[in-house]
Amino acid sequence: MENPFPDRLAAEVRTRRGSLRLSQRDLAELAGVSERFVRFVEQGKRTVQLDSLLALLDTLGLELRVQTRTSTAARALSGVRDGGGQRGHGELPGHGEPADGPAARP
């Protein structure tokens, strides 16, 4: 199954950078990352450093959110419990919050 996230992220970054009228070099300098890194993000490269990505998104006024999804896999994981409904080791804190719950921030 293909993961569309890197392509969506690339498009969002390119669009936002364009709307701010920043060159890749300008954005790199503002975010404290290399111009090459900006290029990789905008190309949808599958392996990027999370801390650098977060700095880039912060500079653009964008945020990366982690939220519960409704896929079959996520529903299956939500059934993992230990001892009568207590949170299991495989469950993430915040499980069960609404889809528009808090943003993940470092």
Distance CA 2, CA 48 (A): 18
Q: What is the pLDDT of residues 54-90, one digit of tens each?
A: 999 999 999 988 777 777 766 676 666 444 444 444 4
**pLDDT at residue 75, rounded to an integer:** 66
Residue among 100, 104, 97, 96 at smallest CA distance from 66: 104
Residues composing the chain = 106
